[in-house]
Amino acid sequence: MGNKDVHVLRGIDLLVSKGDFLSIMGPSGSGKSTLLHILGCLDRPAYGEYLLDGRNMFAGSDRELSRFRAEHIGFVFQSFHLLPMLNVFENVALPFQYSGSVSLREQKRRVKEVIRQVGLENRMLHKPAELSGGEMQRTAIARAIVMNPGILLADEPTGNLDSETGEHILEIFKKYNHAGGTVIMITHDREVAAHARSCMYIKDGTIAVPSV
Amino acid sequence: MQFHPFKFISICSLSFRNLLQHRLRSALSILGIVCGTMSVIAMICIGEGARQKTVAQIEQLGIRNIYIKALPLSETQKQKAGDRLSPGLHTGDAERIEKGCPYVSETACLKEIRASVMGLNADISPPIAAVSSSYLSVLNLSLYQGRFIRDLDIQNKNPVCVLGYRIAEKTGAKVHIGEWLRIENKIFTVVGILRQTAQKREENAAISVRNCNEMIFVPINMPDMEKDLTEIIVQAEHADRVVLSGKMTERIMEVSHHQVDDYQMLVPLELLHQAQKTRRIFTVVLSAIAGISLLVGGIGIMNIMLATVSERTKEIGIRRAVGAAKTDIVFQFLIESVILTSLGGTAGVVVGIGAVRLLAFMAEWDTVINLFSVILPLSMSVLAGVFFGLYPAWQAACMDPVSALRHE
């Protein structure tokens, strides 16, 4: 490991409109995940701007950025990233810990509602270790959409799942997109990418094939 | 961070669950804090007990009083005293002090007499003291029945006596006011019984407290009683004047005794100050020990929290991704370390109180357990949690969320 700066992304100009379902493709190390992290305000770019709803996202403090992330962005990861100690219900309710004041009753109602949406109402009190891969990913999706964020960012959501389960997950994304949510999804798989409305290809940190 | 009670409770319960997952580790890590709080509570309880005991003893001696006690003389000293015409302690000294020192309000004289009391149960031979009439007020004693010895008794050489409460009790209440009592070959009339005083058996190292409950008092009215007194008690009009009065009394005594050291002066107030000084050293030493054990305990907590943070790197990443700010992460880990140290503190207080009780029971030490002695170590343990948890929590918060998420 050296101290050499590596420019992961170089001159990406990307416009995503509200209600879009964009898939980003590209080989490993092309900078897809970094792009997604920047879009999700989890990482800050060394240079450049990111405007969301016309607002410069990296002008605010860590607190403001975190609050924005809690309320407007939902992440879904390839390896689910659930907290093993918490059950499905608690995992899904996690974002409420970091958002503004939503009454406890309203929280419970919304958590139950999204768990029903992803079809896990019978698994509510199970810990992640007791769930299958698909169920874990559905829990992660429920956690991502429980705040009704408007933007759903998915990093290879079907990468660890068999194709049938993957289809099911993509159906949930589509449903969310139809309901007005913006979905940006990273994938390796052309078939998976085909589910999106538009597709973009990144190579060596630049956009190789612009979205269609 | 906006404060919501249910969020706070959920963070606390989550932290608690985290700690429960590593029961042994948590228990071991708080051992230092347990020892620290234990030593703090023991320090306070034992120190406070010792202080109250000293204060009580010295208050019994009288905070405004100065004691002049006769010292037993060796042969050569007796020779010297004779040469210099020092008469030993006598009632004249008291009169001279009263006249010569403006801040002295009263003096009392006492002479212990070796004599046997007739007509009592064979197994009691109470100490007898010939005293002046002011003895009652100077020692702040009170009467249960009858009256104390009066100046008139001394002037008229009245054969009267006053009994201590226990003596009156031991005589089976046979002896009442007006009864006669034979001391050596004289008949005395009982004119009063003293109220019982709370007497502790222990003796102060420097001065012994007379147990008035077990004594018989007679007027100091025989010619041979006026010299070779056992002690003179000088009372200053105010506690502020005690030290000054003590100096003046000392000067008067030096002059009238021609610098013969046949007496010793004791000032309870000075003894109290001395005791306080000793106690201060004791407190400093024990505080240092308690501080060191809390420090060691705190470092243990810090160590375990650092391990926890690095173990839960991924969790930190996940929490950051779903919207936790740095301050949320700091708060979460701080809560955890405070819960740890509070548990340790509580255990330390419980064990400490047990140890103090055991010590009080086994070694008959005076100990005092009060609210302060519980609250101080508890708050110290909470503070230790905050202090030693802060760095690990801050380290957790400063993690880059992206690399934290990638951490396996």
Check B322 against A85: CB less than 8 A apart.
no
**Does B204 score more than 50 pLDDT?**
no
Q: Find all residues with CB under 8 Å of B104, minimum gap 6, and list them.
A: B97, B98, B234, B235, B236, B237, B245, B249
What single string gives the DSSP state of each residue in B123-136? T----EEEE-TTHH
Which has the minimum average pLDDT: A7-11, A145-149, B199-203, B220-224? B199-203
Same domain, B219 and B303: no
Which residue is listed with tokens 């009994």?
Answer: B163
Residue B268 in domain: no
Query: Least CA distance to B316: which residue of chain A?
Result: A83
User: Is B62 contained in some domain?
Assistant: no
Of A70, A82, A86, nearest to B323 by CB-CB distance is A70
Residues B103 and B210 in one domain: yes
Q: Which of B4, B11, B322 sits opposite A101 (nearest CB)?
A: B4
Range of the domain at B225: 72-261
Question: Which residues in chain B touch residue A95, judged by CB atoms under 8 angstroms apart?
Answer: 322-323
Q: How far is B326 from chain A (nearest CA, A)?
A: 7
Higher pLDDT, A114 or A204: A114
Q: Is the pLDDT of residue B115 over 90?
A: no
Q: Decide if pLDDT at B388 tops 80.
A: yes
pLDDT digits over B349-359, tens only? Answer: 999 999 999 98
Q: B186 and B81 in one domain? A: yes
- Among the residue ranges A90-94, B167-171, B281-285, B392-396, the one predicted with the least confidence is B167-171
DSSP assignment letter at B227? B
Question: In whole angstroms, what is the distance from residue B273 CA to residue B237 CA?
Answer: 19
Q: Mean of the per-residue pLDDT values for chain A?
A: 88
CA A31 to chain centre: 16
Query: Which residues from chain B sit within 8 angstroms of residue A67, using beta carbons?
Result: 323, 325
Task: Tell me whether strands B186-194 and B180-183 are parallel, antiparallel or unpaired.
Answer: antiparallel
Last residue of a domain, one of B194, B226, B261: B261
* pLDDT for the residue numbered B3: 61
Q: For the segment B335-385, what is each residue's pLDDT rounded down to a tens digit?
A: 999 999 999 999 999 999 999 999 888 887 888 888 988 998 999 999 999
Residue B81 has pLDDT above 60, yes or no: yes
d(CA B365, nearest CA chain A) in Å: 50
Q: Are residues B94 and B141 both part of a single domain?
A: yes
Judge: A43–B402 Cβ closer than 8 Å, yes or no: yes
Reported confidence tier of residue A1, pLDDT bands at 50, 70, 90: very low
Looking at the structure, do residues B52 and B117 belong to the same domain, yes or no?
Answer: no
Determine, for residues B324 and A75 on separate chains, whether the beta-carbon distance falls below 8 Å: no
With a pLDDT cut of 70, the percent of chain A lying above it is 96
Q: What is the pLDDT of residue B173?
A: 55
Contact criterion met (CB < 8 Å) for A97 and B324:
yes
* Domains held by chain B: number: 2
Contact B165, B194 (CB under 8 A): yes
* Among A98, A102, A153, the residue to mutate for chain B (most B Cβ within 10 A): A98
* Cα angle for residues B228, B229, B234 (degrees, 5° grid): 140
Predicted pLDDT of residue A210: 58
Instruction: Please report which confidence band the pLDDT of residue A4 belongs to, taking 50, 70 and 90 as the band edges.
Output: low
Task: Give a yes or no: residue B222 inside a domain.
Answer: yes
Q: Are residues B49 and B83 in the same domain?
A: no
Test the B interface: residue of A94, A103, A104, A186 with most B CBs within 10 Å: A94
- Residue B205: pLDDT band with limits 50, 70, 90: very low
Higher pLDDT, B3 or A93: A93
Domain assignment of residue B67, yes or no: no
The reply to whether B164 and B311 lie within a common domain is: no
Distance from CA of B324 to the nearest CA of A (A): 5
User: Considering only alpha carbons, which residue of chain A is nearest residue B324?
Assistant: A98
Task: Name the closest residue on chain A to residue B15, using Cα atoms.
Answer: A85
The reported pLDDT for the residue numbered A12 is: 82
pLDDT at position A205 is 82
For chain B, the average pLDDT equals 85
Across the interface, whether the CB atoms of A66 and B324 are under 8 A apart is answered yes
For residues B211 and B330, state if they share a domain.
no
Please check whether residues B31 and B126 belong to one and the same domain: no
Which of B6, B316, B322, B329 is the best mutation test for A, with the most CBs of A within 10 A? B322
- Pick the range with the lowest mean pLDDT from A153-157, A188-192, A202-206, B77-81: B77-81
Q: Do residues B151 and B91 make contact, with C-beta atoms less than 8 angstroms apart? A: no
Q: Is residue B185 part of a domain?
A: yes
With bands split at pLDDT 50, 70 and 90, how would you rate the model's confidence at A114? Answer: very high
Question: Is there a domain that residue B225 lies in?
Answer: yes
Domain boundary among B212, B233, B261: B261
B358 found inside a domain: yes
- Find the DSSP H helices in B62-139: 75-83, 91-100, 135-138
Q: What is the pLDDT of residue B208?
A: 66
Is B257 found in the same domain as B161?
A: yes
A28 has pLDDT over 70:
yes
Q: Percentage of chain B surpassing pLDDT 70? A: 94
Contacts of B369 (CB under 8 A, 6+ apart): B45, B353, B356, B357
**Per-residue pLDDT tens digits for A120-157:** 999 999 999 999 999 999 999 999 999 989 999 999 99
Instruction: Look at B11 and A97 and tell me if their CB atoms are within 8 Å.
Output: yes
Q: Cα(B408)–Cα(B403) distance, rounded to whole angstroms?
A: 10
Q: Token pair of A116, please?
A: 């029903």
Residue B317 lies in a domain: yes
Domain final position from B261, B284, B315: B261
